[in-house]
Amino acid sequence: MVPKAVAIALAVATLVAACSSDDDGEPRGIAWRGDDPVVVVDRTASGVEFVAADDAGDDTDSAQEISLPIGVRGTLDGEADIDTFRLEVDEGMHLSALVTGAEDIDLVLDVLDASGDRIVRSDRAPTGYSEGVPNLWLEPGTYFLQVLEFVRGERGGEGGRQGPSEPYELVVQRYEHESGFEKEPNDELERATPVDIGQDMFGYIGWHRDRDVWRVPLDGALPTDGFRIAISGVPWVTPELEILGPDGEVVLTREGERGEPLYLHNLSPEHAFGGEERDVGAFYVAISSGRSNPEEPYRLRVRRRDMEPDSELEPNHEPSLATPLREDGGEREGRRRGHLDVGDVDMYRLSSSPGVRQLHAAVEPTSQMVAHLEVRIEGEEADSAQADAAGQRASVTGLEVPAGKEVVLVVSGQARDPRGAPYELRWSVH
């Protein structure tokens, strides 16, 4: 179950009702931990009637029949014991199941189909934590839920745990979809949950390798429009972000740190998959993680803004997508304002000059970033510079660039803040 030191801050209904916010401010009426919502949904406080797991067998043939809503109390008699419950679903529904208690063992919850094949598994955390699925979509049919103990090696082997565990509680009920939340299944483009731009959206990484796809509309968007995407941190979850074009092609991937938020600044749909020859009606944001959290949702914020002419254009993590530094090919100096996010590398392309030139380039970061600058000529590293401390300039001066050679400037570094850090890239050729 959730550790007793972690307080239950808000229920989901309270969270959704309180989600009014300004563009640049935090939602009002919600408890936040830094940039993250402190939300633990107490699904056991649901008023369901409890029954004993007396008839729960180890396999699907001896499963105990249950109907919704229901709570089950039981114990696992040794590490080899598995409690299996049979559920008949008459019409399509979203399932909420949470197993808590038994703080002396590492709980696992599996959901199986009629053939006994596993659909999803919840095994997010070690001893003392809850397991469950918050909003799993089930078609009509027969399903099985299994409560078991995580065991390394052979289950029930010599020297394994014997005797009953501490009691567990399994609460199984329908999940009622809330406005502003994802709607499962949404793991593919065709089933993506639509995003209301400028509004806070919520979803769960509800089970192992759960993947949520969100559709971001571009109706009325201008070529100069850019987007900022923010995913709040959730305990145990290591967020993985993918940006997909209208055809499902992945153009950018990011991975954050466990329990930390993940950000993407300066996403330019026109640069990523636009152009006059293509009609781009939407792009997609996919969020996933290896570990899950069935109780605490993440918050997805998508904000649209007019990009400044000197902004970087994401994605620009590889040479073919590098942000151009020259507009008409004749400029001899200029600047770009970028933002280095966690796991980010920014590349800028300087088109070739007819004669030999001396290149001067510098990255000027904020105090939250230790900057690194690399210069590549025709794909080969020609020079680089590493700042000595956060906030200091990283510069390359007087680098000779042969005539007709293209240059790529690579900005990387380490930011102290999970939200990343802004910087300015200045360059000139003489």
> Hey, what are 108's tokens?
């696992």
| Max intra-chain CA distance, the chain | 85
In CATH terms, the fold of domain 50-174 is: Jelly Rolls (2.60.120)
Q: Report the alpha-carbon distance of residue 278 to residue 281 in Å, rounded.
A: 9
Query: Which DSSP symbol is given to 113?
Result: -
Residues of the chain with CATH 2.60.120.380: 50-174, 179-306, 320-429
In CATH terms, the fold of domain 320-429 is: Jelly Rolls (2.60.120)
| Nearest residue to 284 via CA among 302, 304, 265, 257 | 302
pLDDT, residue 18, reads 36
Cα angle: 295, vertex 298, 299; to 5 degrees? 140
Number of other residues whose CB lies within 10 A of the CB of residue 367: 10
Cα angle: 50, vertex 207, 418; to 5 degrees? 125
Positions in the chain short of pLDDT 50: 1-45, 276-277
| Nearest residue to 262 via CA among 231, 223, 293 | 231
Q: Is the peptide bond before 185 cis (omega within 30 degrees of 0)?
A: yes
Q: Is 379 helix (H, G, I), strand (E, B) or coil?
A: coil
Query: In this structure, which amino acid lies at residue 74?
Result: G
Cβ neighbors of 335 (< 8 A, separation 6 or more) are 310, 424, 425, 426, 427
pLDDT, residue 279, reads 61
Phi, psi (deg, nearest 5) at residue 271: -75, -40
Query: In this structure, which amino acid lies at residue 292?
Result: S
pLDDT in tens, 50-96: 999 998 899 999 999 999 999 999 999 999 999 999 999 999 999 99
**What is the CB-side half-sphere exposure of residue 43 using CA atoms within 13 A?**
29
Query: Does domain 179-306 sit in CATH 2.40.40.20?
Result: no
> Hey, what are 234's tokens?
């959730």
Phi, psi (deg, nearest 5) at residue 377: -115, 120
pLDDT, residue 152, reads 85
